[in-house]
């Protein structure tokens, strides 16, 4: 049971669940092209147990059952992502008709069940052929991405409630090109600097192309992390500020102000694409809403051993989820209020929030996690944040990227042997609140 009622959020507030194509679909037949996660996961050492998204939750075939779960839970929104290589197997050029047919069925299925489709264009499954051409390091990706966005608008735009361009650009750029944790697994500051700019340039280019096609209700989904210094020393405070710059301010300042933070540029400038300044008008193309994904905070300390990025994360003292992230609902309140005060008075959605928990159906710790974060959202709303919706991550246990299937975020348990779905206590907590008003 949650401690609040649905009414507290207002009648127009959307409650949804979120997923992503590579993490749940499977169905890698029917003409879908190869993506960077297929090859990254096939390379030993990248993903726990060498697990891949080949079958995942078999959502490609089981989507009606999954939509039933969303509907029965009382949710009226579903945040899903299109798989670029399912629609355009080579990334540019020829279209894969079975892919179009799949998303037609899925979107129509949502509408038939009173579920509003919130689509994400890119949640990390880049077609491999585009990676061969440099992927996010290549400026041309802005046009490849815009063409793909236009296809989506032409085929599905009439039925989508909202479109987000990119999911979590920090992960697309820094986690994947500097920390090397996600595909394509680079550990290279120049690669990261280029990806950090091109991902936002591609976002803005797609926004403009979508608007030219008549699309509306367009946004981006940023993952924000509450950054706090590990001690009160000036050095740790500076480390925390710099991490906030790379994680949060780069994307917020870029998208809402058309500038990159100077402290981060001081580090990255030698590696930035030449003439990037001229792109900043496109990067900051006006948006209709912003999505915030929130999970935890980071405690940061000065790292004298890394002059190119002198920051390290340190282990925090708070209770942790099964993936080792501290449970810190105050961070959600703080970040939502900060975004509302410093960046936008426009609509804000929490587009992801949730926790990894050990494999159990009576997940009472997760019920408490959601309750505490929903309270934080309400507090931010009271302080003026223009909150319009909340999407729980995730509908199903699914493929947690480099962690394989070892970490479970679902409201619904998935038995990967049989594909049986079992709603957990956290699902029932949402169901109770959403059905009882
Ligand atoms: O599973 C991911 C998701 O793909 C993006 N946001 C964070 C989730 C949990 O790590």
Domain-located, residue 250: yes
CA-401 nearest atom, ligand 1: 1
Ligand 1 center from residue 212 Cα (angstroms)? 31
Ligand 1 center from residue 203 Cα (angstroms)? 19
For 96-152, the DSSP string reads: -HHHHHHHHHHHHHHHHTT-EEEEEEESS--BHHHHHTTGGGSTTHHHHHHHHHHHH
Beta bridge partners of 350: 292, 390
How far is 337 from 300, CA to CA, in rounded Å? 22
Number of domains in the chain: 1
How far is 204 from 373, CA to CA, in rounded Å? 30
Ligand 1 center from residue 400 Cα (angstroms)? 7
Q: Which residues line ligand 1 (CB under 6 A)?
A: 20, 23, 168, 293, 352, 393, 400, 409
Ligand 1 center from residue 351 Cα (angstroms)? 11
How far is 48 from 50, CA to CA, in rounded Å? 5
Q: At CB < 8 A and 24+ separation, what contacts does 141-144 make? A: 141/198, 141/202, 142/198, 142/201, 142/202, 142/204, 142/205, 142/206, 143/205, 144/91, 144/92, 144/202
CA distances from 135 to 21, 90, 223 (A): 19, 12, 21
Strands of 203-303, DSSP E:
218-223, 226-229, 289-293, 297-302
Testing ligand 1's pocket by substitution, the residue of 401, 403, 407 carrying the most ligand atoms inside 8 A of its CB is 401
| Nearest residue to 279 via CA among 153, 151, 143 | 143
CA-123 nearest atom, ligand 1: 4
Task: Residue 38: give its domain's CATH number.
Answer: 3.20.20.80
How far is 302 from 231, CA to CA, in rounded Å? 10
Ligand 1 center from residue 278 Cα (angstroms)? 32
Q: pTM for the whole thing?
A: 0.98
Domain-located, residue 1: no
How far is 92 from 427, CA to CA, in rounded Å? 39
Ligand 1, atom 9, lies closest to the CA of 400
How far is 350 from 336, CA to CA, in rounded Å? 9
Testing ligand 1's pocket by substitution, the residue of 409, 410, 411, 414 carrying the most ligand atoms inside 8 A of its CB is 409
Question: pLDDT of 350-401, one tens digit each?
Answer: 999 999 999 999 999 999 999 999 999 999 999 999 999 999 999 999 999 9
Element (H, E) at 68: helix 59-72
Domain-located, residue 284: yes
Q: What count of other Cβ atoms lies within 10 Å of the Cβ of residue 305?
A: 7
Ligand 1 center from residue 109 Cα (angstroms)? 24
Per-residue tens of pLDDT for the chain, all 437 residues: 999 999 999 999 999 999 999 999 999 989 999 999 999 999 999 999 999 999 999 999 999 999 999 999 999 999 999 999 999 999 999 999 999 999 999 999 999 999 999 999 999 999 999 999 999 999 999 999 999 999 999 999 999 999 999 999 999 999 999 999 999 999 999 999 999 999 999 999 999 999 999 999 999 999 999 999 999 999 999 999 999 999 999 999 999 999 999 999 999 999 999 999 999 999 999 999 999 999 999 999 999 999 889 999 999 999 999 999 999 999 999 999 999 999 999 999 999 999 999 999 999 999 999 999 999 999 999 999 999 999 999 999 999 999 999 999 999 999 999 999 999 999 999 999 999 76
CA-354 nearest atom, ligand 1: 9
Testing ligand 1's pocket by substitution, the residue of 25, 168, 225 carrying the most ligand atoms inside 8 A of its CB is 168
Catalytic residues: 168, 352
Strands of 287-373, DSSP E:
289-293, 297-302, 311-314, 348-352
Ligand 1, atom 1, lies closest to the CA of 400
CA-223 nearest atom, ligand 1: 6
The DSSP call for residue 310 is -
CA distances from 81 to 120, 124, 210, 254, 402 (A): 4, 10, 17, 23, 19
Q: CB–CB of 143/99 below 8 Å?
A: no
CA-352 nearest atom, ligand 1: 6
Structure tokens belonging to residue 207 = 């926004």
Testing ligand 1's pocket by substitution, the residue of 400, 403, 407, 411 carrying the most ligand atoms inside 8 A of its CB is 400
Could you give the angle at the alpha carbon of 81 between the alpha carbons of 284 and 179, nearest 5°? 65
Q: CA gyration radius for the chain?
A: 20
Ligand 1, atom 2, lies closest to the CA of 400
How far is 159 from 173, CA to CA, in rounded Å? 30
Ligand 1 center from residue 232 Cα (angstroms)? 31
CA-18 nearest atom, ligand 1: 3
Ligand 1 center from residue 275 Cα (angstroms)? 33
Domain-located, residue 308: yes
Give the range of the structural domain holding residue 91, as residue numbers without chain letter.
6-435
Domain-located, residue 146: yes
Question: pLDDT of 167-191, one tens digit each?
Answer: 999 999 999 999 999 999 999 999 9
How far is 202 from 332, CA to CA, in rounded Å? 28
């Amino acid at each position: 049971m949650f401690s609040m009622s649905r009414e507290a959020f207002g009648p127009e507030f959307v409650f949804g669940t979120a997923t992503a194509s590579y993490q749940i679909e499977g169905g890698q037949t029917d003409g879908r092209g190869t993506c960077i996660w297929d090859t990254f996961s096939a390379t030993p050492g990248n993903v726990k147990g060498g697990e891949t998204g080949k079958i995942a939750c078999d959502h490609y075939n089981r989507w009606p059952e999954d939509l039933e779960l969303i509907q029965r839970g009382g949710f009226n929104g579903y945040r899903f992502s299109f798989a670029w290589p399912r629609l355009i197997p080579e990334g540019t050029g020829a279209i894969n008709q079975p892919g179009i047919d799949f998303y037609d069925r899925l979107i129509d299925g949502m509408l038939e069940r009173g579920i509003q489709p919130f689509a994400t264009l890119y949640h990390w499954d880049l077609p491999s052929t585009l990676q061969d051409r440099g992927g996010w390091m290549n400026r041309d990706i802005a046009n490849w991405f815009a063409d793909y966005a236009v296809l989506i608008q032409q085929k599905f735009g009439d039925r989508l409630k909202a479109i987000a361009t990119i999911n979590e650009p920090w992960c697309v750029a820094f986690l994947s090109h500097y920390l090397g944790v996600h595909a394509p697994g680079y550990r290279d500051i120049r690669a990261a600097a280029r990806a950090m700019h091109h991902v936002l340039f591609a976002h803005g280019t797609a926004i403009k192309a979508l608007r030219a096609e008549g699309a509306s209700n367009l946004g981006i989904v940023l993952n924000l992390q509450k950054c706090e210094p590990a001690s009160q020393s000036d050095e740790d405070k500076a480390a925390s500020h710099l991490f906030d710059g790379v994680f949060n301010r780069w994307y917020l300042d870029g998208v809402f102000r058309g500038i990159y933070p100077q402290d981060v540029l001081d580090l990255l400038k030698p590696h930035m694409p030449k003439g990037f300044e001229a792109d900043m008008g496109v990067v900051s193309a006006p948006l209709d809403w912003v999505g915030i994904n929130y999970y935890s905070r980071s405690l940061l300390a000065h790292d004298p051993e890394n002059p190119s990025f002198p920051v390290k994360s340190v282990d925090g003292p708070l209770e942790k989820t099964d993936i080792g992230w501290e449970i810190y609902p105050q961070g959600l309140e703080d970040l939502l209020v900060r975004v509302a005060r410093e960046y936008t008075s426009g609509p804000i959605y929490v587009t992801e929030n949730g926790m990894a928990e050990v494999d159990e159906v009576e997940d009472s710790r997760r019920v408490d996690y959601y309750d505490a974060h929903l309270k934080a959202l309400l507090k931010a709303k009271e302080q003026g944040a223009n909150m319009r919706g909340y999407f729980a991550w995730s509908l199903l246990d699914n493929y947690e990227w480099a962690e394989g299937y070892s970490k479970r975020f679902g409201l619904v348990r998935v038995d990967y042997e049989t594909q049986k779905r079992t709603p957990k206590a956290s699902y029932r907590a949402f169901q109770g609140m959403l059905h009882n008003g």
